[in-house]
Structure 1
Amino acid sequence: MNEQNGSADRDGGTGVRREPDWGRLADGTPVARWVLTDGVLEVGLLEHGARIQSVLAPDWDGTRADVVLGFPGLAPYAGKGRSFGATIGRFANRIAGGEFDLDGQRVSIPTTDRGNAIHGGPHPFSEQLWTAHPVDGVRGVRFSLFSPDGDNGFPGGLSVHVTHVLREGALTITYSATTDAPTVLNLTNHAYFDLAGEGSGTIDAHLVQVLADRFLPVDETGLPTGEFRAVEGTPFDLREAVPVGYRVELDDEQLHRGKGFDHCYVLADVPGGARPPALAAVVTEPVSGRTLEVRTDQPGIQFFTGGSLAGTLVGASGTAYGPRAGLALETQAFPDAPNHPEFPTTVLLPGEEFRSVTEFRFTAV
């Protein structure tokens, strides 16, 4: 049991444990870590950023390793590693120029990436301290946050809940939100996975399958161009599992722009974007046999091979995270959707409830 920086509240057989003083913010505020166990997985969650801090998963012979890139202390999460494992919002991915029209008004969000707003602006959900409570009757934790009207420029007071439940080798994340004024919303989780074990090298040998016929090409700043491009005949055809390192190295304009894969795959028909929860992606690490299956009801999944990781952050194993140290599979609405009427809407209105489910299931073969 990790009791770093404080004693732990034992789970009493419930499979839920709270470490109340795992770390402290710069102002001295304590941050708790929650641990969920089900006999197969052990998942560490932080109140800072409502984030996945660790996932201990077994390989084919039962040996467990942490398969999520993360840090042993709070400081990196409060700095350059703010997106690692975090809940991303209010708007995951990019908004062109940080501006869009909503309800007859022009909305402006501070820009943070090549002239665009990304992941909610300069003080996003990943930097916030969320309140947390165990979920009765299951191995779960519910994180809650209120984002006031005008937060990072977004209109409307927004109440957000993110619930993590662990059951039989699967971590299910349920997002819900309500607003008191029209706003836009795009929530996801930004965990980086290395199924060989955090800090073991690159994810080049991982076999990746994304069950999508189309993807969204991007411009030089990572914004979608508006085209829905067929994957057939391109390096982006992942309908059958392929070693990701081989594809990343191909000479392709889109791969150059993303420093590898950093693209949204289209999982649902448009324009409505409605999709029942279904298998979206499968990743297998061939040596350990660890396999990750991702299911979601979201219309898109952003596949990111970590090309922008620069080796400036050192992970829990003491290894610096360089390019392709991990991969992310971010289930979400389409990037820059507020500026693309052809994309499924991300508008949330008063009286509506946003609700979405994503499942990460870990097995070993």
Structure 2
Amino acid sequence: MNRTKLIFILLAAAVIQVACSPKPAETEKTCGNLNAEDFQTTINGKETNLYFLQNGEISAAITNYGGRIVSLCVPGNDGELADVVLGFSSIDGYLNATEVFHGALIGRVGNRIAKGEFTLNDETYTLPINNDPNHLHGGPEGFHNVVWDVESVTENSIVLTYLSKDGEMGYPGNLTVEVTYTLTPNNEVKMDYKATTDKATPVNLTNHAFFNLAGEANGTINNHLLTINADYYTPVDSTLIPLGENESVAGTPFDFRTAKSIGQDLPMQAENVQLQNGLGYDHNFALNKTAVGEMTLAATVVEPESGRKMEVLTEEPALQFYGGNFMDGSDTGKYGKTFDFRESFALETQHFPDSPNQEAFPSIILNPGEVYETSSIYRFSTVQ
């Protein structure tokens, strides 16, 4: 083999290797003006980084620390981009944040488990309490607080995996999890969740992005117009654990079946026990479904001034609506603005809270030989 041919083969091999390797974001590639170097560190022996995705008119930045959406930039009526997801400009921002779930993947079990206990196959499991007196979002070292492995990255998608070992945060079984974020040509963020286990275990995965469709920390979300496709919601006690039965939204502040501003009925908090328990909206909605597992429209949010519209579609049976009631200005985001009271919202696709302890709710138990698969979508557009 001559020298020229050998050099050509080696160069070709190098190009193929680089093309197939995951790539972090380049500096200042999105409207978030984020630097990949600010996300490059080692946590518990695993490397963290930042990755950019782009498709259609939207772009996103994802870090494998907690599988978090750091930035999500979408246009308004005038074409101007706004970063509609709350986040930080570095890993340190997330490590030091008062609110620990910013943009993160949540597991093993999203939402609350009463008193950190459940019984499965005649064995009682005890989980750490991190939302006194309950277990919340997988515990203090849940999926939001681990470094995910980056399996692959393309211009518009990233595949993250994580092995949650038997006994982690008190849960049984080795759980292998795969989550794919894809930006579609229709200005959607599609999230595909997949998991398998070697021992029966509860699983309820979701994403915990906080949104403001006017842009991060750009004022109240109480003027956003919200529609939720649900005839029933889940009343809770003072610790936000379900009382056991869903109730009709009719005649209550929880009726979002037709669009209304998020803040319209908040003055009723003075007399409404459920709004008092949640310090506003922090409740599960039982979505209207005609078949289990079908992809349906769960919610629509419109920010009137910019015209930005966000639709939430999901195969999950429920949706948690949280109105930013616990934000208190303690955290400062990537634009130098504080995250204040009711200036962001979350719409978390999910199964019902405390399902392992609630016989009337759909089961979230995954058994060996079964595959947990579910998808949810955030779709963005504008209205005039």
What TM-score do the two structures reach when normalised by structure 1? 0.92
Retained in 1: the 8 A contact 2:38–2:91?
no
| Residue of structure 1 in register with 2:275 after alignment | 255
Equivalent positions of 1:1-365 (< 5 A) are: 8=25, 19=36, 22-25=39-42, 30-79=47-96, 80-134=98-152, 139-168=156-185, 169-251=187-269, 252-268=272-288, 274-365=292-383
Look up the equivalent residue of 1:255 and give its one-letter code. L
CA displacement at 1:8 relative to structure 2: 4.6
Cα distance in 2, alignment partners of residues 66 and 269 from structure 1: 32
Retained in 2: the 8 A contact 1:54–1:68?
yes
Cα distance in 1, alignment partners of residues 153 and 245 from structure 2: 42
Cα distance in 2, alignment partners of residues 277 and 171 from structure 1: 14
Look up the equivalent residue of 1:259 and give its one-letter code. L
Retained in 1: the 8 A contact 2:71–2:85?
yes
CA displacement at 1:311 relative to structure 2: 1.1
Cα distance in 1, alignment partners of residues 204 and 348 from structure 2: 11
Retained in 2: the 8 A contact 1:100–1:106?
yes
Other structure's SS at 1:288 match: coil
> Among the aligned pairs, what percent are the same residue?
40
Question: Which has the larger share of helix?
Answer: 2
CA displacement at 1:24 relative to structure 2: 2.3
| Residue of structure 1 in register with 2:5 after alignment | none
- Deviation track 1:197-240 (CA, whole Å, cap 9, x = no partner) reads 10111101100000100000000001010121000000000000
CA displacement at 1:25 relative to structure 2: 4.7
Other structure's SS at 1:145 match: strand
Question: Is the alpha carbon distance of 1:26 and 1:347 closer, same or farther for their aligned partners in structure 2, counting shifts above 3 Å?
Answer: closer
Other structure's SS at 2:276 match: helix
Retained in 1: the 8 A contact 2:109–2:138?
yes
Look up the equivalent residue of 1:157 and give its one-letter code. N
Question: Is the alpha carbon distance of 1:27 and 1:299 closer, same or farther for their aligned partners in structure 2, counting shifts above 3 Å?
Answer: closer
What TM-score do the two structures reach when normalised by structure 2? 0.87
| Residue of structure 1 in register with 2:14 after alignment | none
Retained in 2: the 8 A contact 1:8–1:20?
no
CA displacement at 1:39 relative to structure 2: 3.5
Retained in 2: the 8 A contact 1:38–1:139?
yes
CA displacement at 1:29 relative to structure 2: 5.5
Indicate the structure (1 or 2) with the bigger Cα radius of gyration: 2
38-47 or 284-293, larger mean C-alpha shift: 38-47
Retained in 1: the 8 A contact 2:234–2:245?
yes
Question: Is the alpha carbon distance of 1:158 and 1:20 closer, same or farther for their aligned partners in structure 2, counting shifts above 3 Å?
Answer: farther
Cα distance in 2, alignment partners of residues 354 and 268 from structure 1: 22
- Deviation track 1:239-281 (CA, whole Å, cap 9, x = no partner) reads 00101012223231111111111000001569xx823000000
Cα distance in 2, alignment partners of residues 182 and 83 from structure 1: 26
Cα distance in 1, alignment partners of residues 322 and 68 from structure 2: 18
CA displacement at 1:22 relative to structure 2: 2.6
